[in-house]
Structures are given as structure tokens and as C-alpha cells.
Structure 1
Amino acid sequence: MRNLLLLFSTLLLASSCSETIETNTPALQGEVDNVFFRAVTSNATINTDGSVTISGETALETIEVTAESLEVGTYLFGSDSNSEANFTTFDDAFYTTDNSGNGKIVISNIEEGKITATFNFNARRPGINDTLNFQEGIIYEVPITNAVPGDGGQNNDQFTALVDGANYTAVTTQTNVAGNTLFIIANNQQNFVINLSFPLDTATGDFEITEGGDYRASYAISGGSENAISGMITITTNDNAAGTASGSFQFETTSGIMVTNGNFTITY
């Protein structure tokens, strides 16, 4: 199921695995079919029904783990559960516990707007007899982006766009810095996600978005994520000292989804 490309990418992520979780806060990691996985970006979001979804991404894969309540306790995954885990692989294969899968998440601590838990699951591809196993999952002090239920997660950040002509307005945005790369993760009310990433030291100007370059974008819904294959990002301001950036963007995904009129003003 896994190939050399995936192994190479995960080995890069695992190169610092000898460090403790505490030195890599926040952290979302584990083993996918016995291959090390560590999210480059991670965040937690309180949903309108009171459940909490913890999400993580690498350059190639995404994971979402949902517990039906934001309380310390054990929550079981499965087809009859309101808790579930989803995983999208590097080749866009989507696995879910909401299709005769199983497993659990154990929330051990919620403090200062951060969540800590352990989890494991077996997930299946809908309609296909193919199983993915996630073991030794650790969620450590992942920030909750909208810490007060029902507040919409509003902050001073602004992130808007048109997706195939429909308005997209983020209710939560998360920024993370990994190495010299700034990642922006925007979620709207339907939990559709737009991701942007560019070098932290980018000056003002226009930059081409490509699938494997320094300037990247993607669009994700519950069924999986699609990378941008072309597009442009314009950096209007980027002040590393103040930790602020603004700009505009547009891109097209692998299946032809058009994201246009994008604008962002963020802190990081």
C-alpha cells in the first residue's frame, strides 16, 4: 500500500523523532501501516454540535480525528458512533472509520485552549476492501482555534475567496511556521479548507503556485484534499518582525476547482 515515495517523505519527517513530544509542541503523530507519520501543521476546531475535530497535514497526507464531545474521556470510532477518524493518503485515497472501521480517541487533558489525547483506528475505503491502520497516535497540546463553542472562531485574521464562483469566508484561520515555510490553514462554516504555504522570508510581489514548488495551495472537503496545479499568490505585506502578512491568490486544483478573488490578512 505504501511506496518508496511515501517512505522517503515520512523519513524526512521522522528525522527528528528522537526528540520528545514536548519539544515539538503542538504535535500530531503516530504510525500509518507501520510507517512514521508526523503532521507539519495541526489544529483543533469545536463544531456546532459540540464535537471537536483535530486535523493535521503533511505535504502529502491529511488526518481528521473527531470526538463527539470536548471533554476528558474515551470515545469509540465505528459506523454507529458520532466519533470518527478520516485519513487521506498521498495519492488521494480516502479512508474512514465511518464505514465499518473501529478504534478510539482518549482525551486526557484540555487546558489553556489546547487539547492532548491518544488515539488509534482501523479505517476503510468506502466501497473498496482496503484497510488503513493508524497506531500509537498522539495529540499533544494542539491549539483549539475557536476555544469558545458557538463563537465562530472569529479573530483579527481575514481570509476570503470565491470557490467555483461561490463565496468562501473563513471562520477560523491557523498559521504555523515549519523551517522557513509559513503555512496558512483556513476553514469556513462547512469545514472546507483552503491551505496556502510560502517561504517565510518572501518579499512583496507575484509568485507562481505550483504543485511541487515553494508556493503551494490546496482545497479540501470531507472527501479529501486536492492540490493546486497552477495559480498565483501576490504578497502585499510580510513583516517577519511583527508576524503579519497580507496578500491575494488564485489557483486551480487537479480536478478543475477554481479558487479566485482570494485575499488574506493574517498574523503568525
Structure 2
Amino acid sequence: MKKIIVLFLSIFTLFGCGEELEFNTPAFLGEKDGNLWEATSYRANISNSGVLTIVGSDNFETITLEVNSTELGIHDVVETTSFGSLRDIEDVLYSSNNAPDPSVQVYPASGQIDLKEVNVLEGYVSGEFYFNAFNDSGLTSINVNKGFFFKVPLLSVAVGSTGGADVNCATASAVVAATLINFNAASPGDANYANVCNAYKTALTTQQVACGDDDGLIQDIIDGLSCI
């Protein structure tokens, strides 16, 4: 009898997971410190040097995954140019590139990004990930576990592209202009200020991925925003 119950629960779980994927396409989610974290916006791009960047935001926090190639399989984020990071609601950046303070732990941060699909023709990427990350001081850490991204759209593909990135960049820039109008009309303390500010920050992040940010000006604007 117990075996039958276990089998039934297993079948129910499998069908449940399949249904969740079906009704959440694309998707970018995981667990942050044991709590569900699910992005409301997500995008990816491939740079001229072949670096794949995947960004997800829930309008309050942003997770960035950067992989130093588009080769399928597991990419470590320790002592490599690949990394995982999270910028929280207080604008604190936690990155797997930051070393922990020796008083916290003696071994470095850990993590992996497992690329399952990089479909340039249809324009999406899929995979799984986890990482531990520290703030600049190395004294505080966060853990992102059980992460996966499924058919996250490629906004731009610079490698071998024929100009499609320019259109995506123009669209992203137009969204920034629209959200900037709302942001300038709001003031800290307004009931909707946090939502307006985070919408502007998300639009800037989209523009950064779609257009690039070689001079760091977009990142400077993002760093200067306090949406609390």
C-alpha cells in the first residue's frame, strides 16, 4: 500500500512539473536563501566576444548570469570569467566573483551554470544554475539554488548577426525613455515610487543588455538609483 502511495505521488509530481513549465514559458526562477525567487522580466544577449549574458528581474532584485562561451554543458563560476550575481532591493551587489572574508569562510564562492539550449535561430536560451555570492566586504552572502531559465529570449546576438541588435536596442531605449518620464514625475515617499523606480531600473537593465554599456554610463545610472 505504501509503495502505491509513493508511486502515485511521484506521478503527480512529474505531471505537476510538466504543467508548470507549459504555463510558464519562458521562465527564470529559483530559490534565494530558501525562498522562491521568480523573475517578471528576463532577457539574454551574446556579445561580439561570444560572452552570453542572461538577466532576470522581479522589479526589485536582479540576477545576472554571465557565461564566457555559448558551449553547452556545465560552466563553473569559480576562478573563471563566468559568474553569477544578485543586486538586491537596497542596491547591494552580491557576486560569485567576490571573495569571502576569512572570518566567514576560507574557501571561495561556488556555483555552476549549465547551458542546455542556445538556439540562435529561434532566439532563446535554456539551462540551470546555482551560485553562492558575497558582497564587496565578503562578510555577507546569499545563496541562489535550484535555478533554471527556460526559453529566455535572446534580445541580441552580436556574433554573426546582420543588424538585428540595432532594432532591439532602439526598442529598449524607447522603453527607458517612457519609464524615465514616469520616474521624473514621482518623488521619494510617493506610494508608487518604488514600483516606478524599479520599472525604470529594469528598463535600464534591458537597455544595457540590448545595447551594451562599454563606457559604463548605464550602470552608473543604475547604481545611482535608490528605489526603497
TM range (shorter): 0.5 to 0.7
- 1:142 equivalent in alignment to 2:125: no
Normalised by the length of structure 2, the TM-score is: 0.66
Equivalent-residue separation in structure 1 for 2:166 and 2:114 (angstroms): 28
Equivalent-residue separation in structure 1 for 2:128 and 2:111 (angstroms): 11
Equivalent-residue separation in structure 1 for 2:20 and 2:134 (angstroms): 31
Structure 1 ranges of 4+ moved more than 6 A: none
**Partner of 2:56 in structure 1?**
56
Percent identical among aligned pairs is 24
Equivalent-residue separation in structure 2 for 1:86 and 1:223 (angstroms): 17
Larger radius of gyration: 2
Which one has a larger percent strand, Structure 1 or Structure 2?
A: 1
**Partner of 1:170 in structure 2?**
none
1:127 Cα deviation after fit: 1.6
Q: Any conservation in 1 of the 2:45–2:156 contact (CA below 8 Å)?
A: yes
- 1:208 equivalent in alignment to 2:191: no
Normalised by the length of structure 1, the TM-score is: 0.57
Q: Cα distance 1:156–1:83, how it changes in 2: closer, same or farther (>3 A)?
A: closer
**CA-to-partner distance for each residue in 1:134-182, whole Å, 9 max, x for gaps?**
00001100011113416471117626xxxxxxxxxxxxx399xxxxxxx
**Partner of 2:84 in structure 1?**
85
Q: 2:166 aligns with which of 134, 154, 160?
A: 154
Amino acid of the structure 2 residue aligned with 1:105:
I
- 1:101 equivalent in alignment to 2:84: no
1:18 Cα deviation after fit: 10
Number of equivalenced pairs: 178
Q: Any conservation in 2 of the 1:198–1:214 contact (CA below 8 Å)?
A: no
Q: Cα distance 1:62–1:195, how it changes in 2: closer, same or farther (>3 A)?
A: farther
Q: Cα distance 1:44–1:174, how it changes in 2: closer, same or farther (>3 A)?
A: farther
1:72 Cα deviation after fit: 1.1
Q: Cα distance 1:142–1:197, how it changes in 2: closer, same or farther (>3 A)?
A: farther
Equivalent-residue separation in structure 2 for 1:224 and 1:156 (angstroms): 20
Which one has a larger percent helix, Structure 1 or Structure 2?
A: 2
Equivalent-residue separation in structure 2 for 1:59 and 1:39 (angstroms): 8
Structure 2, unaligned stretches of length 5 or more?
1-16, 99-107, 188-192, 206-217
1:58 Cα deviation after fit: 1.1
User: What RMSD, in angstroms, separates the aligned Cα atoms of the two structures?
Assistant: 3.5
**Partner of 2:39 in structure 1?**
39
